[in-house]
Structure 1
Amino acid sequence: MKSQLTLKKALLTLLFVVIGATVFAQGTGKISGTVSDKKTGETLIGVSVKIAGTTRGVGTDVDGKYIFPSLAEGKYVIEISYVGYSTKKITDVEVKNNTTTSLNVIMEEAGSQTLNQVVITASFKQESVNSLYAKQKNSAVISDGVSSDQIKKSPDKNTSDVLKRISGATIQDNKFVVIRGLSDRYNTATLDGATLPSTEPNRKAFSFDIVPSNLVDNIIVSKTATPDLPADFAGGAIQIVTKDIPDQNFFSVGIGEGYNTASTFKDFKSGARNATDYLGFDNGNKALPASFPSTSKIVNRALTQTQGIAAMKSLPQDFNIYSSSALPTQNLLLSLGRVKNFKGGNKFGALLSLTYRNSQTINNDVIRDYVDVDYRDNVYKFSTNIGAIANFAYSYGKSKITFKNIYNRTYDDNFLSRTGLNSSIGGGADVKFFAFDLMQKALLKSTLEGTHPLGEKAKINWSLSYSNILNDQPDQKKVSYYRNRSDIGSPDYVYFANVTTLGKENTRLYSTLNEDNYSAAANYTLPLKMFGQTSIFKTGLSSLYRNRTFGARFLGLQLNTAASDANLIRQRPLNTLFGRDVLSNGSYNLDEIPGDADSYTANSMTNAGYLMLDNKLGAKSRLVWGVRVEQFHVALDAKVKTPQTSVDQNYVDILPSVNYTYSLTPKINLRASYYRTLARPEFRELSSGSFYDYELLAQQQGDPSLKEAKIDNADVRFEFYPQAGQVISVSAFYKKFHNAIESFNSDVNSSRTITYMNTDNVNVYGVEFELRKTLDFIAETDFLKKTTFYTNLSFIKSKVETNNVGITLLEPSRPMVGQAPYVINAGLQHSFLNDKLSFNALYNRVGRKLNIAGGRLFHGVWENPRDAVDLQLALKVLKTKGELKFNAGDILNQRTTFYFDNDQDKKYSVANGDYTLSSYKPGANYSLSFTYTF
C-alpha cells in the first residue's frame, strides 16, 4: 500500500509540473482542411486557396491539406481554384480565437474551358455537408469509417472504443476486433500504412486499446479488397491513421478512476508484489538467474548434490499468498501537440502522448465442470498498461516526411486458486491447485514515411518500418494438492502435494518470445484521362520480414520419495512446501522436462506487388480493378531440428479484385465486388511445441503441416444517404474458404489437446443491414434533430464439411470456428446544450459461436451469447476546454460461458448433459474521468 501511495504522489507531482510548464498562445484562430476531387475522392495537390479580398493565399500540400494560421476573429470568404476545375467560393467561414475551423472542400471538374470560368458559391455549412457526403460515397470499396471530427464528438478514449461504432465491428475483451462475425485471425490491421504485428503470443490479434482516440486522424474498415491493401484478411482490413502535424498547439491532461462490481474493494489475492509492478516492469526477482545450470546438465544428472541444492535455492521461493483490497482502476493520459510554421509555408509538427492504466480484477467462482472434473476457480489479475506515441512531421513545398512511433507495454500478473473434485484420480480426489503466472508484453513500432509530388499531379509514397514484439513469461509456478475420497475417515484423508513426479501441469515455466519485423513499401499514383474521364493509376511494391525466437524451460523440484519424511513434506502448506530447510537437506532433486520441440526459431518473408486502375465509366459508373501478387516464404525449426518439427513453405499467390460502383442518384450507390484474399497460420500455430493451459485444462500444440488458406469473396451493397452523416444500407456477401485454419480438440488419447487443422471447404453466406438516422422524421423538433439512432445487423450462415481432411470427428458438419451466426449492434446518441452535453447508449450481442471444434471424444466448445449494454455521458466544462465523462460498461453483467454442447441442441443446458468449460460474471464497470486541454 505504501508503494501505491508513493506512485500516486509521483504521478500527481509530474502532472502539476507539466501543467505549470505549459504556455499557450491566445488571440488568433486558424482555418485548415483538405481539398478533394468530387468523383474520385482523391486529394488534390497544389490547389490555390485564398482569402477573398486579400493577398493571403496558400497551396495544398501532397496530402491535399492547407492551413491559414494567425487569423483575427471574424467571418471570411475562401476562394479555391485549380486548373481543370470550377472555382469555388465558400462564404461565412467563421474563425474564433484559439480554435481551428475545419473546412474540407470538394472540387468539381470543369466540363469545358468556358465552364472553368464559372464560380460556384456555397456557404460554410453547405460545403461541410458536401464534403461529408463525398467521404461517405467515394470509397472505392465497401467500407465504413470514422473521422477525427466524429471522434471529437464522442466520449471514446481509445481506438477499441471507436471501432464499436463501425458497422459490422464488435470488440471482445475491450480490445480485440471481430468483423462480420469472423474471428480476429481473419482480420488485418495497419497503423500509418504499415502492417501491425500481433500483440498476442499464441494468436493473430492486435490490442486496439493502446492507441488514444484523440491522436487518431481516421479509421477505415474495408470489407472488400483492392490491390493496394494487404491480402491476409476475409472479415475486414482495419486502417488506422494517426495525426502528424496538429492544427494548433495543445496540451491535454486526463485522469480517471474506475469501479468494477465484482472486484473493486474486494479481497484480492496475489503472489509477491513490488513497486515496479505499477510501472509495468518486474524488478528482476522472478527472472531465471543468469548462472542457472543448462538443460543438458540437469537432464543428464551432471550436477553434484551441492550444485543442485545451490541451483534450487537460487530460484525465487516465495510461495506466499498475499491479501489486499482491490484498488479502483486508475487511468492517466497526457497529450502534447506542437506546430511551427516557417517562411514559404513549410511547417514542422509534433504529437506526443503518454497513457497509463492499472486495474485489479477478480473473477470469482469460475465454474469448470465437465467429464471427470468439477472445479471452482478464483482468478485474480493485476494489470498495468503503459503506452506512448511520438509522431513528428515536416512539410516542405508539396512534400511531407513523417516519423511515427508507438510503444506499448502490458504487465499481467495472474493468481489462480482452484478447489473441487477430480474423479479420474483414484476413486475420486479433492483437489487444490495454485498458479502464479506473470506475462510481460511489449510492442515498439517506428515508421518513417515520405510523400512527394512527381510532376503536377502524380505522387510517390514510400515507407520504412520496424517493430519489435516481446513476450516474457518468467517463473509461471503451478502446484497441485489432492486427497483421495476413499480415505475419508482415515488419518490419510489429508491433502498431499503432487511433487513426486514432473509434468507440464506442475512445473515452473520460463519462456521468452522476441520478434523483429522489418518492412518497406513504395507506391506511385498517377491521375490520367481514360474514356474521357479522370482515372487513377496506382502501382506499388512492399516487403515484410519477420524473425522470431522463442525459448522455454520447464523446471521442477521433484521430491525424493525414499526420504523418511516425504509424506510429511507433501502435507506442508504452500508457503513452506519448498522451504529452504528441505532444500538444504536434499529432500528435493532439481529436474527439467526437455523442451527441444517447445523452443523454436522462425522467420517469414512476404513480398508483394500490385497494379490498380480506378476508372470512371461515364457520369455514374466507377470501376476499381487490378491484381496483387504475393510471394510468401515461412521457415520454422525447433531447438533440435527434425522433419517432424520443421517447416519450410513457399507460396506465390495471384489475387485479383474488382469493385464496381453505380451512382443511381446523388444519394444512392449500388456496389458489387469480387476479390481473393488469404489467411496464414501464425508461427505458434506451426510449432509442434506443447504447453499446458491450466485454465482450459488442456495441452495447446501447433501443427507444422498447417497450410495457408485461400478465400474467394463476393459482395453486393445498396447505399442510401438521406442526409450528410446518415446512411441506410443493405449488403450481401459470400465467402468460400479453401484450407480454412481452425482449432479443434485432438483427443485420440482420451486427453484433450487443442491444436489446428485445415478444413478443405467452408462456405459462408451473410447479409448486413445498417441504419444511422436522426429522429427528426418522427417530428420536426430540435430534440429529435439532435438524436441519432444507429444499428447494424449481420446474419451469417457458415458450413464446414470435414470429411476429407483425414480426421474422424464427432461433428463432421458444423459452422466455422469463430464465425458468429449473427451480430447486433445498436445505439442512441443525443447532444444537449449546444453539444456541450452528449449521451450515448450502446447495445451489443454476438450469436452463439464455435470456439473450438469437436474431436473424436469431446464435442465442440461453444461461446454462449450475452447481451452487453454500455452507457456514456460526456459534459464539456470550463469554456469547453474541459470534459467530464461518465462511462458505465457491461451494466447487465451477464455470465461469460464456454461449454461443450454434448446434446447438440444449440443451447447451454447443464440439465441436458452439457459440460461447462468456464462460466463466470466479469462484473459491471463504472468510471469517471476528466480531461482538460490547454
Structure 2
Amino acid sequence: MKLRFLLLTLFFSVALLAQNGTVTGTILDKEFNNEPLPFANIVIKGTKQGASTDENGKYSISLKPGNYTLVIGYLGYETKEIPFTIKANEKKVINHTLEASGVQLQDVVIVQTVSKEKESALLQEQQKAVEIKQSIGAEEISKKGISDVAAAVAKTSGISKQEGSSDIFVRGLGDRYNSTTMNGLPLPSNNPSTKNMSLDVFSTDIVEYIGIDKTFNYKNYGDFAGANVDIVSKTYKGSGMIEVGSGMNANSNAISQRKFYLQDGPNFHGFSNEPIPNDPLSGYNFTTSWDKQAATPVGSSLYLRGGDSYSVGSNGKLSLFLNASFDNGYNFKEGIRRGGVSVQSIAKKDFFRKAYEYQTSSNAMANLNYKINSNHNIKWNTMYINSTSQKHEEFTGVIDIFDAAPDGGGFLRRSTFERTSLLINQLLGNHTFSDRINFDWGLSYNMMNNLIPDRMQNTFVPLDNDNPNTSPLIVSNLNQSDNHRFYQDMTDDEVAGNFTLSYKFGKTADDTYKGKFIAGYSARYKEINFDATQLNFRINSQEIIDINNIDGYFNQNSYNLNYFTIQTFRGNQFAPNALEPQNYNGQQIVSAGFGAIEYQFTPKLFVIAGFRSEYIIQDIFYNTSLKTGKKLSDTMEYLPSLTAKYEVNEKQNIKLAASKTYTLPQFKERAPFLFEEVGQSYIGNENLYSSTDYNFDLKWEYFPKNGEVVSFTGFGKYIQNPINQATIASATNDISWVNSGERAIGLGLEGELRKNIISRENNTTGEKTNLGFGLNVSYLYTTQDLDSEKVIRENPGMNVVFTNQDSRLTGASDLLVNSDISFNKEFKNNKSLTATLAGGYFSDRIYALGVTGKGDLVDSEVITLDFILKYNVNKNIAFGLSAKNLTDPTIERNQQGANDGGTQRPDVVVDSYKKGRNFSLSMKYSF
C-alpha cells in the first residue's frame, strides 16, 4: 500500500513538473560593451521566485503555465519589467541588455549586489577579453589598505616600486618604457627626470579601478615596452550619497625623535611658493630663515565626497560625483650615505645622514556623466592635485677625502621643498549609431607645474682638520655652490585626443557578429619649459659658524662686511645676464593613425590584428651654463600588433600577444643641463636617440569559480639600442644617458593565484564568511651587451668605459613575490569585518651599471609586510586600522667591489637606512 502511494505521488509530481515551462536567457551589460552581466537579479514580480545570472550572464527559472512579469535588476542599473506568457513545457527565451541608471531598484528583492569595483567583476572582464589584461579594483585596493596608485600597481604581478622614488619597474623595465593614462588619455610628467606622472600623487579615493596592460594595444601610443597604467576614475551611478572621513597616522622613526625638523617657508597644507627675492645679487634680500624649524610628526587625513543622479527627460540620466581630500605624513630616515667610490673601494664622500620628511597631498575631483539615452553618453572629468614633498637632510662626516673634512667632522645640510600642481580636464563620449556602428572619442587638456622654490644648502668644515671632532666649524669655500639657494620652475602643458570608429560585420543566426573593423586617430601635443636659477654664496671670509644659528652668518650685515657675495653660474650683479635662468624648452608632437580587425574564426578562437603608424616630432632648445643650442628630430614609426585568444573551455583561455614598439629619450636626458644632488651630478646627452622594442607574451588562465583565477604568463622582450644611465669620465663622475649597446633581452615567467579558501553564506540571516588568498610570483632573466666603443663613437667628447661586456637590465629583480590573505565577515544589520595581511618581496637589482673597473651599484633584497583591519559598525559608521612595513627591513645599496689587478676589492655600502613602521587610524561616516 505504501509502495503504491509513493508511486502514485511520484507519478503526479512528474506530471506536474512536466507541465511547467522554463524562462531562460542572457543579460548583457550596456556599460561594458554588451559583455555578459553576472549576478544580475531576476525576479518574477509578485512572487518569491527568482534567480541570479551566472558568470556568463545566463539565468533559468521553472514556472507553472500562466502570465507573468519578469523583473531584471542590478544595483546602480535600470530596473526592467518584461511581461510574458508561458505555456506547459514551453522554453521561453528572454534576453536583455541593462543600462546604468541613477534610480534605485524598486520592486526587486536584492539577493546579491556586485560593484564594478569588485575583484570578481574585473576577473570576469579579464576572462572575456581577447587582450591580455590585468586590473586592480577599488575593493582590492581597500582590502589592502592602499592609499596611492603607485602602491596599488606594485601589488600586481611583475611590478615593483623603486624605494625612495616614484618609479615603477615592469618586468625589469623602468620609467622610460612605461606610459600612464587616465580614462585612456595621456598624462604629463611632474618631474623633469621622468617620463611619467608620479603615480603616488593619485589618491585611490578617486579610483574605480586601475588597468595594467603589459602588452601593446594598437589604441595606445607606441612609446611602450613595459606597461601602460590606465587610471579609471569613479563614475557615480547610484542614488544620493555623502561621505566624510578622517584619520591620523604616525611613523615609528619620526615619533621616536626628540625633535622633528623641517625648513622654514613651506606651510602645513603645502600651498607654498617662495619666489626669488627682488634684486637678490646686490644685497641680502631673503625673508625665509636658513635655520631649521621644529614640527610635530603626527599625520592626518580628511576627505569629503558625495554623488547623486538625476533623471533628464524620459531617457536621460545625469550623474555627479565630487571628491575632496587632504592627507599628510611624516617620515624619518638615518643611516650611511657614501659617494665617489674608487676602484680601491674607498669612498670620496662618507656621511652619516639624517633625513626628516613631510608629504602632503590635496585632491579635488568633479565627475559629470550624462547618459543622453541608451545610445549616447558623454562624460566630463576634471581633477586638481597639489602634491608636495619636504625633506630636511643633515650629513656629517667626510665631505671630500682630498679637500673638505678629509678626516671627518664636516657638516652638509640640504632642505628641499618640491611642489607639483596638476590640473586635468577630460571630455569623453560614446555613441552607438546602430547595432553595428560605434564611435568613441576623448579630449584632454592638462596643465602641470613643478616647483622647487628656495632649496637651501650649507656646507661647513672643521677649522682644524687634525682635530675634526673637537674643532669648531667654519663655512666651506671649496666650491661656490657649497652654499646656495636654488629655484626651479617646470611646466608641462599637453593637449590630446582619441577618436575610434568601429563597425561590426559577419552577423550570425543568434544576432551576434563574428567580426569588427576598427579605425581611429589619436594625437598629442606637449609643450615643456624648464627654468632653474641657483644663487651661490661665494665665501670670502670663513667665519666660525653655529649650525643652530646659520642666520647669524648669512645676513645683510655679513654681506656688507664682504663675508660673502651672491652670484649665479652666469656671474655676479655686474653681469648683464646673471639672473637669466638656465633653461631648456621643447615640444613633442605625436600624430597617429590606427586600425584593426577583430574576428572570431571559430566559437573558441578570437584574433585581433592591429596596425599603428606614428609621426613623432621632438624638438628641444637649451640655454645653460654648459651649452646653448637646439636639437630637432622627427621620425615615422610603423607598429604592427597581433593578439589572439583560444577558449579551451568556459573556464580556461590561452592568449597570445606580439608587437613592435619604440622608446623615446626624455627632454632632461637630451638637455645639456647639470643637475646636482648631494654626492652625485647628472648631465644630459643631446645625441641620445630612440630604442626599438619587440614584445611577445603567451598566457594560460583558468577561472575555477567566481572571484578565483590561476594563470601563468611567459614573456620576452628584445630591445635594440637600449638607453641606460652610465658614469662618464669626468672630474665629478657625472652620470649621463647613452645608447649603451646593440641589444637587450628580457625573458620571464609570471604566475598568479587567487583562491577562496572558505566561502559560506547563511541564507536565513544573510551572514557571509570568506577567507581568500592571493599570490603572484615573477621570475625574470635579463641580459644586455655593453659597448664602450659604440658609446664613444656616437657621442664625441664623452668617455664611458663599462667594466663588463654584458649586464642585467638596471632595475630588474630576478624574483618578485606579492601575497595576501584576507578574511571578510558580513553580519546582520550591515555590520562587517575585513582583515588583510599582505606581504611582498623583491630580490637584488642593479641600480646603475659598473664603469672604469668598478662593479655595479646594487639594491639589496627587501621583504615587506602590512596588516589592515576595517570594521563597519553599521551602514553609516566605519573604522579602519593599518600597520604597514611591519618587518622594517634595512634598505641598502652597495657598490660592488672591483677586481683591482687580481685583487678582489670588498663591496661598499653607499646607502643604508630603515623607513620605520607606519600606523594609521581612520573613521568615516556616510549619510
Q: TM-score, normalising length from structure 2?
A: 0.81
Instruction: Assess if the C-alpha contact under 8 Å between 2:41 and 2:110 holds in 1.
Output: no
SS of the counterpart of 2:568?
strand
Which residue does the alignment assign to 2:889? 894
Q: Partners in 2 of 1:739 and 1:549 — Cα distance?
A: 28
Q: CA deviation at 1:808?
A: 2.4
Identity, in percent, stands at: 19
The answer to whether structure 1 residue 842 and structure 2 residue 838 are counterparts is: yes
SS of the counterpart of 1:583?
helix
Which residue does the alignment assign to 2:182? 191
The answer to whether structure 1 residue 355 and structure 2 residue 325 are counterparts is: yes
**CA gap 1:52/1:466 in 2 versus in 1, 3 angstroms:** same
Instruction: Assess if the C-alpha contact under 8 Å between 2:439 and 2:501 holds in 1.
Output: yes
Q: CA deviation at 1:321?
A: 2.5
Q: Partners in 1 of 2:121 and 2:694 — Cα distance?
A: 34
Which residue does the alignment assign to 1:495? 473
Aligned residue identity for 1:651: T
Q: Partners in 2 of 1:36 and 1:529 — Cα distance?
A: 22
The answer to whether structure 1 residue 234 and structure 2 residue 215 are counterparts is: no
Which residue does the alignment assign to 2:716? 734
Which of the residues 847, 852, 862 maps onto 1:851? 847
Q: CA deviation at 1:136?
A: 2.9
Instruction: Assess if the C-alpha contact under 8 Å between 1:471 and 1:512 holds in 2.
Output: yes
Q: Partners in 2 of 1:214 and 1:499 — Cα distance?
A: 49
Aligned residue identity for 2:553: L
Deviations 1:198-236 (A, max 9, x none): 232311233334444344333221121221122222222
Which of the residues 293, 297, 307 maps onto 1:322? 293
SS of the counterpart of 2:393?
strand
Which of the residues 389, 395, 414 maps onto 2:391? 414
**Runs of 5+ consecutive residues of structure 2 not aligned to the other structure:** 1-25, 64-68, 81-89, 98-108, 342-346, 571-577, 793-799
Q: Partners in 2 of 1:226 and 1:116 — Cα distance?
A: 42
Which residue does the alignment assign to 1:465? 444
The answer to whether structure 1 residue 817 and structure 2 residue 797 are counterparts is: no
Q: Partners in 2 of 1:45 and 1:342 — Cα distance?
A: 27
Which residue does the alignment assign to 1:17? none
Summarize the alignment of residues 647-686 of structure 1 with structure 2, pairs less than 5 Å apart. Answer: 647-686=631-670
Q: CA deviation at 1:470?
A: 0.9
Q: Partners in 2 of 1:328 and 1:828 — Cα distance?
A: 29
Which residue does the alignment assign to 1:374? 350
Which residue does the alignment assign to 1:757? 738
SS of the counterpart of 2:672?
coil
Q: CA deviation at 1:660?
A: 1.2
589-598 or 814-823, which deviates more: 589-598
Q: Partners in 1 of 2:137 and 2:60 — Cα distance?
A: 24
Which of the residues 793, 796, 799 maps onto 2:783? 799
Q: Partners in 2 of 1:352 and 1:145 — Cα distance?
A: 24
Count of aligned residue pairs for this structure pair: 828
343-352 or 363-372, which deviates more: 363-372
Deviations 1:583-641 (A, max 9, x none): 22333323221298941111110111110111111110010111011111111111269
The answer to whether structure 1 residue 560 and structure 2 residue 551 are counterparts is: no
SS of the counterpart of 1:170?
strand
Instruction: Assess if the C-alpha contact under 8 Å between 2:148 and 2:201 holds in 1.
Output: yes
Aligned residue identity for 1:312: G
Summarize the alignment of residues 183-582 of structure 1 with structure 2, pairs less than 5 Å apart. Answer: 183-264=174-255, 266-273=257-264, 277-282=267-272, 284=273, 286-289=274-277, 291-292=278-279, 311-316=282-287, 318-324=289-295, 326-368=296-338, 370=341, 371-397=347-373, 398-421=375-398, 422-425=400-403, 428-483=407-462, 486-488=465-467, 493-499=471-477, 501-503=479-481, 505-529=482-506, 533-560=513-540, 567=543, 574-582=550-558
Q: CA deviation at 1:540?
A: 1.1
Q: Partners in 1 of 2:111 and 2:643 — Cα distance?
A: 32
Aligned residue identity for 1:393: N
Instruction: Assess if the C-alpha contact under 8 Å between 1:51 and 1:77 holds in 2.
Output: yes
Aligned residue identity for 1:536: K
Q: CA deviation at 1:768?
A: 0.8
Q: Partners in 1 of 2:44 and 2:210 — Cα distance?
A: 38
**CA gap 1:231/1:572 in 2 versus in 1, 3 angstroms:** closer
Q: Partners in 2 of 1:581 and 1:597 — Cα distance?
A: 27
Instruction: Assess if the C-alpha contact under 8 Å between 2:51 and 2:60 holds in 1.
Output: no
Q: Partners in 1 of 2:48 and 2:322 — Cα distance?
A: 31
Aligned residue identity for 2:186: T
Summarize the alignment of residues 574-613 of structure 1 with structure 2, pairs less than 5 Å apart. Answer: 574-594=550-570, 598-613=582-597
SS of the counterpart of 1:582?
helix
Deviations 1:669-712 (A, max 9, x none): 11222111222222111111002101xx0111111111122210
Q: CA deviation at 1:580?
A: 2.5
Deviations 1:388-423 (A, max 9, x none): 111112111221111101111122222111110232
Q: Partners in 2 of 1:768 and 1:42 — Cα distance?
A: 29
**CA gap 1:94/1:755 in 2 versus in 1, 3 angstroms:** farther
Deviations 1:273-319 (A, max 9, x none): 46x7112122x5x3212x436xxxxxxxxxxxxxx5xx332123622
Q: Partners in 2 of 1:844 and 1:213 — Cα distance?
A: 20
Which residue does the alignment assign to 1:884? 879
Q: Partners in 2 of 1:35 and 1:279 — Cα distance?
A: 47
**CA gap 1:389/1:570 in 2 versus in 1, 3 angstroms:** closer
Instruction: Assess if the C-alpha contact under 8 Å between 1:78 and 1:93 holds in 2.
Output: no
Deviations 1:495-538 (A, max 9, x none): 221147513x4322111111111112211122221799522221
Q: Partners in 1 of 2:132 and 2:487 — Cα distance?
A: 46
**CA gap 1:213/1:373 in 2 versus in 1, 3 angstroms:** closer
Instruction: Assess if the C-alpha contact under 8 Å between 1:233 and 1:679 holds in 2.
Output: yes
SS of the counterpart of 1:685?
helix
Deviations 1:641-672 (A, max 9, x none): 99875221111111111011111111111122
Q: Partners in 2 of 1:197 and 1:489 — Cα distance?
A: 48
Instruction: Assess if the C-alpha contact under 8 Å between 1:480 and 1:498 holds in 2.
Output: yes
Q: Partners in 1 of 2:494 and 2:899 — Cα distance?
A: 44
Instruction: Assess if the C-alpha contact under 8 Å between 2:595 and 2:612 holds in 1.
Output: yes
**Runs of 5+ consecutive residues of structure 1 not aligned to the other structure:** 1-32, 55-71, 106-114, 294-307, 906-910
User: Aligned-residue CA RMSD in angstroms?
Assistant: 4.0
Deviations 1:880-903 (A, max 9, x none): 332211111111111111221125
SS of the counterpart of 1:344?
coil
Instruction: Assess if the C-alpha contact under 8 Å between 2:865 and 2:886 holds in 1.
Output: yes
**CA gap 1:875/1:103 in 2 versus in 1, 3 angstroms:** farther
Deviations 1:788-831 (A, max 9, x none): 11111111011010124334211221101122212111111111
Aligned residue identity for 2:709: V
SS of the counterpart of 2:639?
strand
Q: CA deviation at 1:90?
A: 12
Q: CA deviation at 1:343?
A: 3.0
Whose helix proportion is higher, 1 or 2? 1
**CA gap 1:158/1:509 in 2 versus in 1, 3 angstroms:** closer
Q: Partners in 2 of 1:161 and 1:896 — Cα distance?
A: 17
Q: Partners in 2 of 1:750 and 1:868 — Cα distance?
A: 39
Instruction: Assess if the C-alpha contact under 8 Å between 2:43 and 2:71 holds in 1.
Output: no
Instruction: Assess if the C-alpha contact under 8 Å between 1:528 and 1:535 holds in 2.
Output: yes
The answer to whether structure 1 residue 917 and structure 2 residue 906 are counterparts is: no
Deviations 1:819-878 (A, max 9, x none): 22121111111112448111111111112111112222543221111101111111111x
Q: CA deviation at 1:103?
A: 9.5
Summarize the alignment of residues 125-136 of structure 1 with structure 2, pairs less than 5 Å apart. Answer: 134-136=124-126
Q: TM-score, normalising length from structure 1?
A: 0.81
Aligned residue identity for 1:616: Q
Q: Partners in 1 of 2:462 and 2:705 — Cα distance?
A: 70
